[in-house]
Amino acid sequence: MRTQEPERKKRIEKRYMEEARRACSVFPKGELVPHEKPDFLLKTASGTIGIEVTTLCREGPRRTSRRLEKVLERAKGSYTRFGAEPVDVSVAFAPQAENADHRKLTKSLVDFVHAHRKSRGSFRRDLPEGLCHIGIHTPREPTGRWYSGRGFVTAVASKELLESRVAEKNKSVPEYRRSASDVWLLIINDQFLGPGEVQVRSEDLAEWEFSFDFGKVLLFSREPDSNGEVFELRRR
């Protein structure tokens, strides 16, 4: 799992980069090469641009969401080791799940699914603590799929949130410049992100100014059912 996570992260970053390039002509044509510190090198006819990619979100809800995703991963693995027939499992976590003992939550979920694996359907009563819905269904794929649906709120991003993200990455500009003389920062405002998602308003970006040492700081607003839009942040 540890070896797969960096590869998954790089695939996501590359998808963001390719979508941003399609959405905006500010990126020159050239070969995009995966790298580390910065994340990519864009090799153009006139030189190489280093591009660091980062996402903008509220970290608290994102961390909670990732922890609960781990509960599902571990629960499915534990259930599989029982040797029981595969099932699809849909879960809705209760608010108190954020503070629950996740080992106990995992075990209680596995025990419930194993005990009810023959009774397909939706369960909303007498559930383990931390869960408000469990669905057990005929699998649509050989090993079964375990997934969750959680409600979330998209908040309007403050200048302080964006400013702190720029400042954090700005500390590494000298290191990035070891690989490319011109270094850009691409901030992804992903409207598909889920828990922790924020929205940066274009009218706010028109007013805000930021301090940074990057050649350019760009924000890619990645919207549902759209190619998205790239904004260049104003330098103070």
The per-residue pLDDT for range 104-128, each reduced to its tens digit, is 999 999 999 999 999 889 998 899 9
Residue 135 exposure: Cα atoms within 13 Å on the Cβ side: 13
**CA 106 – CA 117 distance, rounded (Å):** 16
Which stretches within 83-192 are classed as H helix? 102-115, 159-170, 173-176
pLDDT of residue 2: 46
Average pLDDT for 136-145 = 92
The one-letter amino acid at 152: F
| CB-based contact 7:44 (threshold 8 Å) | no
pLDDT of residue 66: 73
pTM given for the model: 0.68
What confidence tens digit (pLDDT) does each residue in 195-229 have? Answer: 678 889 999 999 999 999 999 999 999 876 667 89
The domain locations on the chain are: 4-56+157-235, 64-148
Closest CA to 228 of 236, 220, 217: 220
Q: Exposed, middle or buried: residue 224 (CB in 10 Å: 0-12, 13-18, 19+)?
A: exposed
Locate tokens 């649509």: which residue?
A: 140
